[in-house]
Structure 1
Amino acid sequence: MRIKINISFILFLFISTYLGFWQNALVIFFSVLLHELGHIIIAKFFNIQVLEIQLYPFGGIAYTENISKYGGRIELFVALGGPFISMLIAIAFYFFGKHLSLSSTIIKYNTALFLFNLVPALPLDGGSIVRNLLLSKHSYKCATKFMTRSGKILSILILLYNISLILNRQITISYMTVAFFIFLGALREEKNCSYIYLLNRNNKKVKRLHNLHVRQLNVSEETYIRSIVEQFSPGNICRVMVFNEKGEVVKELCEADIMDGFLKYGYYGKIKDIVK
């Protein structure tokens, strides 16, 4: 595992030190680092490989192997790890560290880190948490779409707030920078979710069938295969019932049948191609 400091964070630390706020910069650096270590501790508990940590002024990103393949619960716990550590730090200094000179800064920043990361919008931790709560009733792609949309809206609101500050002669681009990274993160999550099930469709499912929620999808022979694939989620099993024009069950298909058909017949393949 390696720790990588993003160029924006390096500039932030340099400017803060130059302006005489090196102590605040130090607090922010270690607060972000400990926040990400919270994610890593939970990931290690589930034997998930951690590849890299990237640190930004407003938070960080812990890059792990694709944990979505394990289902919603594990990804949910990993997402909670960071905010939990930030909350513990703020509480600890509030009750036991008030005599320290930087305690107010530590409490303030860790509280902000805790609350901000719980906003239900991807790529923030709150977006991952809510997405995985939605997986019992929605597909991974649909849940991701909800949360990335929230992320884009959040980035626009933050950008507008930064513009309002500039118009009021408070020159700053810090919020604008945060908005930029949130928007990029939302786009990345949106793009990646399209490949998650294809890459991990059978990963760990066979061993955990008795632990997975079963969803029934009712389709017709004219249904496009791709529309069924988009409803799959790593954390549950879908049973596909194929009906004809008379409303009679023609065949029952499993996820492997659908995925094999998708790979064989392509983007415009239909369920009838599999059934025949």
Structure 2
Amino acid sequence: MIKLAGIPVSFHPLFVIVMLTSVFTGHFAELIVLFGIVFVHELGHAAAARMLGVTVLSIELLPFGGVAVMEENGYLTAKKEIAIALAGPLQNIILAGMALLLHLFEWWDGPSLTYFIESNLLIVLFNLLPILPLDGGRICQSLCSLFIPYHSTLLWSSRISVFFSGLLTVYSLHPLVLGQGIQLNLLMVGIFLLYSNLVDHGHIPFRFIRFLIGRQRTFSKQLQAAKKAQPIVADEAKPLDAILRLLKREKYHFVYVMNVKGELMGIVPEQRIIASYLSGHPEL
């Protein structure tokens, strides 16, 4: 592990195996260039996150690219998350544009130029797939959180990721139908993403708990934003977890508690319900 500007940079074991394999297959130079491009891509995420006040915990280089791990402190809005996600592909577009500019001045030409530009464009297109933890998956999740409750956001973004990573895996096998060899690299990436998202789907309850804890930290900030307040009407016998699953990421909620006769029993701010739930009380 190394550090760059205070950010730990680690290498996934499969990444190391792929690099060592490339030495024996004669593609080491191409792979070095490719992962250099990926590294710049991740630095774009890290720089954007720091500019927006988000702590970058680490950067990990994976067999299919890289992931910038950021602190989930409750202050990251959907708009900020989308901006951070787009900052990575933007670096690749800039790199491809600079390469074309060098070509116009006749300072760079040949197969290496074509490889460099195509690699950048492929990384952009691949990362915009709606699969977590790719940029497209993060953008999809952030957009969902603007319209539906956060628990539903976690569920649907996970389901979409599983579906498209499965589709990617199946697509990598389609040359077999044509009597050709399978796309081994794409198959490995597809299986890796599919497995990761299936495992992550089982972690949704823990991610939702982290979300609730983050809401507690930002309560005072949310309470001051009256324009973001949104009511939730709930029966007094309704379980707390069912109410909490209605919370939206960027809305503050007051819960209007009703009895069986439809009479208002009280108005409860969301932080009291979160505190009760986290302390082990299942009902209002």
| Cα deviation, residue 139, structure 1 | 1.8
Name the % identity: 25
Residue 189 of structure 1: how far off its partner (Å) = 4.5
Question: Of the candidates 184, 190, 196, which is equivalent to residue 179 of structure 1?
Answer: 190
Partner of 1:70, secondary structure, is coil
Aligned equivalent of 2:218, options 195, 204, 218: 204
1:239 to 254, 257, 271: 254
Give the match's secondary structure for 2:256: strand
Distance 2:57 2:234 in 1: 41
CA distance in 2, matches of 1:29, 1:90: 15
Q: Are 1:248 and 2:263 an aligned pair?
A: yes
Q: 2:83 aligned with 1:77, yes or no?
A: yes
Which consecutive residues of structure 1, in runs of 5 or more, have no partner in the other structure? 272-276
In structure 2, the CA distance between the partners of 1:137 and 1:248, relative to structure 1 (3 Å rule), is farther
Offset at residue 116 of structure 1 (A):
1.6
Is the alpha carbon distance of 1:236 and 1:185 closer, same or farther for their aligned partners in structure 2, counting shifts above 3 Å? farther
Shift of 1:208: 4.6
Please give the residue correspondences for 1:1-276 in structure 2 after superposition, counting only pairs within 5 Å.
Answer: 1-66=7-72, 68-97=74-103, 99-101=108-110, 102-166=112-176, 168-187=179-198, 189-190=200-201, 191=203, 192-211=206-225, 213-266=228-281, 269-271=282-284
**Which position in structure 2 is the counterpart of 1:274?**
none
Q: TM-score, normalised by structure 1?
A: 0.87
The answer on whether the counterparts of 2:128 and 2:134 sit within 8 Å (CA) in structure 1 is yes
- 3-state DSSP class of the match of 1:2? strand
Counterpart secondary structure, 2:231: strand
Conservation of the 8 A alpha-carbon contact between 2:85 and 2:138? yes
Cα distance, 1:166 vs structure 2:
4.3
How far residue 149 of structure 1 moved from its aligned partner, in angstroms, is 0.8
**Aligned 8 A contact 1:215 1:238 in 2:** yes
Decide whether the 8 Å contact of 1:70 with 1:235 is kept in 2: no
Q: Is the 8 A contact 2:131 2:165 kept in 1?
A: no
Is 1:90–1:106's contact at 8 Å kept on the other side of the alignment?
Answer: yes
Q: Which amino acid aligns with 2:13?
A: I
> What is the one-letter code of the residue matched to 1:130?
C
Partner amino acid, structure 2, of 1:78: I
User: Where does structure 2 lack aligned partners over 5 or more consecutive residues?
Assistant: 1-6
Provide the rounded CA distance (Å) in 2 between the counterparts of 1:50 and 1:219: 38
